[in-house]
Homo-oligomer: A and B are copies of this chain.
């Protein structure tokens, strides 16, 4: 008998091939949807122990910053897409120029990569944004603070995620070390929001758009910890307005695939905070909570297939992220969590546990928000901390 054999390379694909650049948990969760549809998912990983590389036969090792690696990876793919936003824009343009079908395209994706371009474009098309400006020195920040009030939020133009690349500055002195780092920055008005909402939409190359229900996201230290679907007690008109904004951004920017729009709900209405053009943490609830998961939807969109129904499968869905604690062992805790709640859905990303790292999530479904939320929180706290709440 042979030891583990390489099937992906030796066996011609039967279905369409989708190549995803990056091999984190988003690519990993996309694999479940790909298997069902008979789509062959290929990933570009930096290392064979990455989350998606562990579960995808056609894993290629390479560097997403190197055009030759990207070109080699894209060969034979019916569509190329992304698990993260860090691929250089120029490389994406080069791939498209060579005839590869890349979704989203560089001209759309750049708005999820470059916060200054994103703000310019959204402002130009009339989407509500916080006041903002490019800033280069303390004088700029001081002027911005005096015009729009303190604190001022500084954001790295490129490369930030999960709270990284964001600094809340109460004064020009606070801003000094950030400015000294030399990275390109924008300043944004600090928005006094009531809560954070997210709208996930999909758009296919032929222009079909679909919106999932608006959700509420709960953040801690800039990291999403909880998603409530649908957003509780949200005025139906405001919900429709939020979906309209997200669909309009997708259309105006020419997004293909998924677009997640993070928004602030304020006393005066909605303000767009961030964009992501890929499956998104705010959409993990759709795996069990919607008739079409965000991962299936993304595959359908990038292959230009008709989009699937975003209808919910339960009146209330709550997703809670599992953030790594001090204990590397999760599996021994499955027993309690599953015995305590036969309906809880546990997702683990096959990643080494490190403090604060997103290592999985749990989803609970039901009819009463407080009950469902308590179930999801109980499971999450027990799995990550071993504490019975």
Contacts and interface: CB of A to CB of B under 8 A. Distances in A.
Interface of A: 1-11, 14-16, 28-29, 31-32, 35-38, 40, 45, 48-49, 53-63, 66, 68-69, 72-73, 287-288, 291-292, 300, 305-309, 311, 313-314, 330-331, 334-335, 338-339, 342-343, 345-352, 360, 365
B4 A57 contact: yes
A62 B4 contact: no
A279 to B, nearest CB: 14
A322 to B, nearest CB: 10
A47 to B, nearest CB: 9
Contacts of A335: 305-306
Contacts of A32: 31-32, 35-36
A151 to B, nearest CB: 40
Nearest to A33: B32
Contacts of A56: 7, 57
A61 B342 CA distance: 36
A1 B60 contact: yes
Instruction: Say how many copies of this protein the assembly contains.
Output: 2
A77 to B, nearest CB: 13
Given A38-B360, A345-B36, A60 B2 contact: yes
A307 B36 CA distance: 23
A222 to B, nearest CB: 25
A14 B308 contact: no
Contacts of A365: 291
Contact of A3 (B60, B292, B352): B60
A37 B346 contact: yes
Nearest to A340: B306
A365 B292 CA distance: 12
B69 A1 contact: yes
B57 A57 contact: yes
B54 A7 contact: yes
A57 B69 CA distance: 22
A334 B305 CA distance: 7
A342 B292 contact: yes
A53 B300 CA distance: 23
Contacts of A29: 35-36
Of all A-B residue pairs in the complex, the 3 with the closest CB atoms, nearest first, are: A38-B348, A1-B62, A7-B48
A343 B291 CA distance: 7
Given A2-B60, A5-B59, A38-B348, 9 more contacts: A4-B8, A7-B48, A15-B348, A35-B55, A37-B347, A54-B57, A57-B57, A305-B334, A306-B342
